[in-house]
Amino acid sequence: MLKKNLNASVIFHVIKLSETWKRNGDAITQQFGITTQQWLILLLLAKDPNILYFKDNPQEKPMMAKELAEAMNVSRANITNLLNVLIRKKLVVQLEDIHDKRRKRLTLTEAGKKLVDKMEFVRQEYNKRLFAKFSKADKLQFTEFIDTCLQAMRHDNLVK
Instruction: Summarize pLDDT for 123-152 with one digit per residue, the tens.
Output: 999 999 999 999 999 999 999 999 999 899
Is residue 23 pLDDT above 90, yes or no?
A: yes
As a whole number of angstroms, the distance between CA 109 and CA 155 comes to 39
Q: Please report the pLDDT score of residue 52 as a whole number.
A: 92
Give the CA dihedral 44, 77, 24, 145, nearest 10 degrees: -60
Which amino acid makes up residue 43?
A: L
Q: Which residues pair with 104 in a beta bridge?
A: 96
As a whole number of angstroms, the distance between CA 8 and CA 69 comes to 29
Q: Which residues pair with 96 in a beta bridge?
A: 104
**Backbone φ and ψ of 33, nearest 5°:** 75, 20
As a whole number of angstroms, the distance between CA 84 and CA 114 comes to 19
Give pTM, 2 decimals: 0.89
DSSP state, 95? E
Is residue 153 pLDDT above 80, yes or no?
A: yes
* Lowest model confidence (mean pLDDT) among 73-82, 104-113, 149-158: 149-158
Q: Please report the pLDDT score of residue 97 as a whole number.
A: 83
Q: Please report the pLDDT score of residue 102 as a whole number.
A: 85
Query: What average pLDDT does this structure show over 47-67?
Result: 93
Q: How do residues 82-125 score in pLDDT, each as one tens digit?
A: 999 999 999 999 998 888 888 899 999 999 999 999 999 999 99
Task: Return the closest-CA partner of residue 25 out of 34, 12, 15.
Answer: 34
Q: Where are the domains of the chain?
A: 26-128
Q: Please report the pLDDT score of residue 104 as a whole number.
A: 92
Q: Please report the pLDDT score of residue 99 as a whole number.
A: 83
Q: Which three-class secondary structure state does DSSP give residue 80?
A: helix
Supply the CATH classification number for the domain 26-128.
1.10.10.10
| CA triple 152-154-159, angle to 5 deg | 125
Q: Which three-class secondary structure state does DSSP give residue 104?
A: strand
